[in-house]
Amino acid sequence: MPDRTLQLVLHYDGARFAGWQRQRDARTVQGELEAVLARLCGAPVAVLGAGRTDAGVHARGQAAGVRVDGKWTAERLRRAMNALLPDDVWVAAAHEMQPAFHARFDATARRYAYHVGTDDAAHSPFRRSHEWAVDRPLDRALLDAAAALLLGEHTFRGFAVKGTAPPDDHHRCIVHEARWREREGGLAFEVEANRFLHHMVRFLVGTMIDIGLGKRPPEDLPRLLAAGDNSEVSPPAPARALFLDAVRYPAHLYLTRA
C-alpha cells in the first residue's frame, strides 16, 4: 500500500515547551510528535511544521506534514496519536494531502492572535499564563489606527530579530488583516499575512501597546515600517500570550478533509 501524505492540525500549550523545533536536550512540540509517530509506525517519521513557534508560544491551528504507511488513514492516525500524546498537545484534525504537499512552502497565509488582559483578573494564575496583563488604560483609537497602518505590503526589518533571515531576504510581508477586538477581560490583536518574520508579531504588539499607553507617539509606527533595522522598536510582547491560530493552503492540495 503506497504511503499517505497527511496534514496534522495541532493545538498545543507552549508553556512547557522550548518551542517547536526538536532539540537534543529540551522538550519540544516536534520532538513529542515524532516520538509518538515512531511508536505507532515502528520507524522514525519526520514531522515538518508550517513554521517554528518560540518557547512559550501556543497554537490552535499549527499545521504539520507527515508521510506515513498507507494503512494510516487521516482519522485513524489522528485518534492513535491523541491516545499517546501528552495532555498539552492535541491533533485537532488530519487531512490527506497531495503527495507533493509541503507544510512550510505551500502555505499561503498564517494567522496569529495576541491576548492582552486589561482587567484586574488578568493577574489570576488561570489567565496570566496565556495573557499579557496591562494595568494602565489603553487608548483604543490609537491601537486601531496603528493596526490599520500595517495592512498591505511592507518591509518589516524594523519589527524582526536581526540575523534570523538570510542576508538576501527582502523582509517584505503582505498583511491581509490586522485589527484589535474586544474580548472578555481585555483585547486581542489578530493579524494574518502571507509570512511572518522572527518575533514580528511580538514586536508589533509591544510597539502598539507603548503607543496605546502614550509611551510612544503614533507617528513612530510608520517610521519603524520604513526602518532598516530594529534598533528603535519597543521590546517584544511576552511570548505566553501569542497563539498561532491558522495556516492556509490552496484547496487543490487537499485530497480529503476529516
CA 255 to CA 198: how far, in whole Å?
Answer: 32
Q: What is the pLDDT of residues 129-153, one digit of tens each?
A: 999 999 999 999 999 999 999 999 9
119 is annotated as an active-site residue:
no
pLDDT of the residue at 256:
77
Angle between helices 200-212 and 140-149 (to 10 degrees): 140
Q: What is the pLDDT of residues 155-196, one digit of tens each?
A: 999 999 986 766 677 899 999 999 999 999 999 999 999 999
What is the value of pTM for the model shown?
0.95
Q: In this structure, is the dihedral angle defined by the CA atoms of residues 158, 159, 164 and 169, taken in order, positive or negative?
A: negative
Catalytic residue among 3, 13, 25, 54: 54
Angle between helices 74-84 and 29-41 (to 10 degrees): 110
Question: Which DSSP string do the residues of 106-138 spell out, in sequence order?
Answer: T--EEEEEEEEE-SGGGGSTTTTTTSEE--SPP
Helix, coil or strand: residue 80: helix
Q: How confident is the model at residue 249 (pLDDT cuts 50, 70, 90)?
A: very high
Determine phi and psi for 201, rounding to 5 degrees.
-65, -40
Q: How many CA atoms lie within 13 A of 137 on its CB side?
A: 3
Under 8 Å between Cβ of 47 and 78 = no
Q: What is the pLDDT of residues 43-58, one digit of tens each?
A: 999 999 999 999 999 9
pLDDT of the residue at 210:
98
Under 8 Å between Cβ of 132 and 210 = no
Q: Does position 258 have pLDDT exceeding 60, yes or no?
A: no
Q: Does position 62 have pLDDT exceeding 90, yes or no?
A: yes
> Residue with C-alpha cell 497527511?
6
Spatial neighbors of 99 by CB under 8 A, at least 6 apart, are 3, 5
CA 209 to CA 242: how far, in whole Å?
Answer: 14
CA 248 to CA 244: how far, in whole Å?
Answer: 12
Strands 172-183 and 186-193: antiparallel
Under 8 Å between Cβ of 62 and 12 = yes
Q: What is the pLDDT of residues 3-28, one digit of tens each?
A: 999 999 999 999 999 999 999 899 99
Q: Which amino acid is at 90?
A: W
Helix, coil or strand: residue 36: helix
> Residue with C-alpha cell 514580528?
200
